Amino acid sequence: MAKKLVIIMANTDPRNGEELGAPIFQASVAAAMDYEVEVICTATAGRLMKKGVAETLVVKPGSPKSVYDFIKDAHEAGVKFFCCSPNLDLFDMKQEDLIPECS
């Protein structure tokens, strides 16, 4: 039986970068442990999947890595990222506005 982890980021506000590290890090660790991992960004967290947003955020002030760097690392480890489809309408986004790591 395959091991699967689904992380739903719903109450994680992209304006608070320090809230973003733990779920993305946990997703990366689980993927490294051969879990099938999906991160679903919904509500305010859906903005993270928009190009240009995660690139401007850091988990800790002064960190050389952006939140987008952590997303890319997780994706390379096998994590799949999704944006809740109603978020596209909510934030006036189209599919082409999403980062390439978002399915």
For residue range 41-94, what is the model confidence (pLDDT) as tens digits? 999 999 999 999 999 999 998 999 999 999 999 999 999 999 988 989 988 999
Query: What's the predicted TM-score (pTM) here?
Result: 0.92
Judged against a pLDDT cut of 70, whether residue 1 lies above it is answered with: no
For residue range 5-44, what is the model confidence (pLDDT) as tens digits? 999 999 888 888 888 989 999 999 999 999 999 999 999 9
| pLDDT on residue 100 | 98
Match domain 4-97 to its CATH number in 3.30.2130.10, 3.40.50.300, 3.40.1260.10, 3.40.718.10: 3.40.1260.10
Sorted by where each begins, the domain ranges of the chain are 4-97
Q: Give the per-residue SS3 of the chain.
A: CCCEEEEEECCCCCCCHHHCHHHHHHHHHHHHCCCEEEEEECHHHHHHHECCCHHHCCCCCCCCCCHHHHHHHHHHCCCEEEECHHHHHHCCCCHHHECCCEC
